[in-house]
Amino acid sequence: VGGDVTATPESDDNEYLCPVTIGGQTLNLDFDSGSSDLWVFSTSTPSSEQQSHTIYNPAKSSTFKELNGFTWQISYGDGSGASGTVGTDTVTVGGLTVKNQAVELATAVSSEFVTDSANNGLLGLAWSNLNTVEPTQQQTFFANAGPQLQQNVFTADLRHDQPGSYDFGFIDTSKFQGNLNYVPVDNSQGFWQFTVDGYAVGDGATGGNSFSAIADTGTTLLLLDDNIVSDYYSQISSAQNSNSAGGFVFDCTEDVPDLTLQIGDYAAVVPGSLLNFSQNGDGTCFGGIQSDGGQGFAILGDVFLKAQFTVFDQGNVQLGFAPK
Ligand X SMILES: N[C@H]1[C@H](O)[C@@H](Sc2ccccc2)[C@@H]2OC[C@H]1O2
Size of the site for ligand X (CB under 6 A): 16
* Cβ neighbours of residue 253 closer than 8 Å, sequence gap 6 or more: none
**34 binding ligand X? (CB under 6 A):** yes
Q: Shortest distance, CB of residue 178 to ligand X, whole angstroms?
A: 29
The C-alpha atoms of residue 272 and residue 255 are separated, in whole angstroms, by 8
The C-alpha atoms of residue 181 and residue 196 are separated, in whole angstroms, by 13
Of the candidates 207, 194, 259, the one whose C-alpha atom is nearest the C-alpha of residue 229 is 259
Give the CB-side neighbour count of residue 86, counting CA atoms within 13 A.
22
Does the active-site annotation cover 13? Answer: no
Enumerate residues 12-31 that contact ligand X by CB under 6 A. Answer: 15, 30
Q: What is the phi/psi pair of residue 305, to 5°? A: -70, -20
For the CA atoms of 161, 78, 297, 37, what is the dihedral angle to 10 degrees?
-90
The C-alpha atoms of residue 3 and residue 45 are separated, in whole angstroms, by 29
Q: Which of these is catalytic: 37, 116, 157, 216?
A: 216
The C-alpha atoms of residue 244 and residue 36 are separated, in whole angstroms, by 32
Q: Shortest distance, CB of residue 165 to ligand X, whole angstroms?
A: 18
Cβ atoms 199, 208 nearer than 8 A: yes
**170 binding ligand X? (CB under 6 A):** no
Q: CA angle 49-53-55, nearest 5°? A: 95
Q: Which residue is nearest to ligand X (CB)?
A: 218
Q: Output 113 or 250, the one with its CB closest to ligand X.
A: 113
**216 binding ligand X? (CB under 6 A):** yes
Fill in the per-residue mask, 94 to 123: x = in contact with ligand X (CB under 6 A), - = not in contact.
------------------xx--x--x----
Q: Output 146 or 218, the one with its CB closest to ligand X.
A: 218
Q: Output 15 or 49, the one with its CB closest to ligand X.
A: 15
**32 binding ligand X? (CB under 6 A):** yes
Q: Shortest distance, CB of residue 14 to ligand X, whole angstroms?
A: 8
Among residues 128, 193, 219, 290, the one that binds ligand X under rule CB under 6 A:
219
**3 binding ligand X? (CB under 6 A):** no
| Stretch binding ligand X (CB under 6 A), from 75-83, 92-100, 163-171, 276-284 | 75-83
The C-alpha atoms of residue 308 and residue 322 are separated, in whole angstroms, by 6
Q: Shortest distance, CB of residue 202 to ligand X, whole angstroms?
A: 27
**190 binding ligand X? (CB under 6 A):** no
Q: Output 109 or 200, the one with its CB closest to ligand X.
A: 109
Cβ atoms 71, 85 nearer than 8 A: yes
Q: Shortest distance, CB of residue 34 to ligand X, whole angstroms?
A: 3
Among residues 78, 186, 251, 255, the one that binds ligand X under rule CB under 6 A:
78
Helix, strand, coil shares of the chain as percentages rounded to 5?
A: 15, 45, 40
Number of Cβ atoms within 10 Å of the Cβ of 316: 14
Per the DSSP assignment, residues forming a β-bridge with 98 are 91
Question: Residue type at 314?
Answer: Q
Does the active-site annotation cover 203? Answer: no
| Stretch binding ligand X (CB under 6 A), from 77-85, 160-168, 198-206, 245-253 | 77-85
**10 binding ligand X? (CB under 6 A):** no
192 secondary structure, DSSP code: -
* Cβ neighbours of residue 230 closer than 8 Å, sequence gap 6 or more: none
Q: Output 34 or 287, the one with its CB closest to ligand X.
A: 34
**35 binding ligand X? (CB under 6 A):** yes
What positions carry a catalytic annotation?
A: 32, 216
Which spans of this chain sit near ligand X (rule: CB under 6 A)?
A: 15, 30, 32, 34-35, 76-78, 80, 112-113, 116, 119, 216, 218-219
